[in-house]
Amino acid sequence: MDAYSAYAYSTGAWLSLQALPLFILPKLILTILWPETRAPTDHEIYLSRTLALTVIALASLNILLSGALPLSSPINEAEHSPYKTPVARITTAFHVFSFGYIYINYMATGSVCFALAMVGSGFLACFGAWVLLFGGDGGGKSRVSGWPFRNDEEMKVKKEKTMRKGL
């Protein structure tokens, strides 16, 4: 399993973990979140279940579009999903912004639930940044730009090629 697949499965699991309580126990979640005690309305239950289904659909799309789950029957290692980098960028940005929003709410309330959510989103934001920087399949030779670190080995190869050509 490559780094992109591990990140896609981790993001899918985290989103599903957040969505399942909303879908299974919407009355309990709405009662906990509401400041005064009252029964949630049918519209609130409908909206919480719809939100849960939407988050599960996004988690599934994340796994499918990143190429972690092959869509064709013969598995060809040379064939990669063209969407894996854009999906990783979008989900990493989501985790970064989610971490920031959860952090603001945690500082305002001091809730343990916000602290746990902050740890999960923060971990996935760091993991996504790592995958985008170092999780590529270039092998150190192809499509290396030199950012954020210099590639001294590639520079040696280029220097040898120019010396052989006589330039």
Q: What is the mean pLDDT of each run of 10 residues along the chain (167 residues)?
A: 88 93 83 76 87 92 84 58 88 95 93 91 95 71 60 78 72
Residue 15 lies in a domain: yes
Q: Identify the pLDDT of residue 11.
A: 93
Q: Identify the pLDDT of residue 147.
A: 63
**CA–CA separation, 62 and 7 (whole Å):** 10
Residue 161 lies in a domain: no
Residue 149 lies in a domain: no
Residue 46 lies in a domain: yes
Q: Identify the pLDDT of residue 7.
A: 92
Angle CA 58–107–56, to nearest 5:
10
**CA–CA separation, 99 and 96 (whole Å):** 5
47, 64, 84, 119 from 57: Cα distances, Å: 15, 10, 17, 23
- What type of residue sits at position 75? I
Residue 38 lies in a domain: yes
Residue 26, domain extent: 3-70+82-137
Q: Identify the pLDDT of residue 139.
A: 46
Check if the beta carbon of residue 98 is closer than 8 Å to that of residue 123: no
Number of domains in the chain: 1
Residue 147 lies in a domain: no
Residue 34 lies in a domain: yes
Q: What is the DSSP letter of 81?
A: -
Q: Identify the pLDDT of residue 106.
A: 93
Residue 167 lies in a domain: no
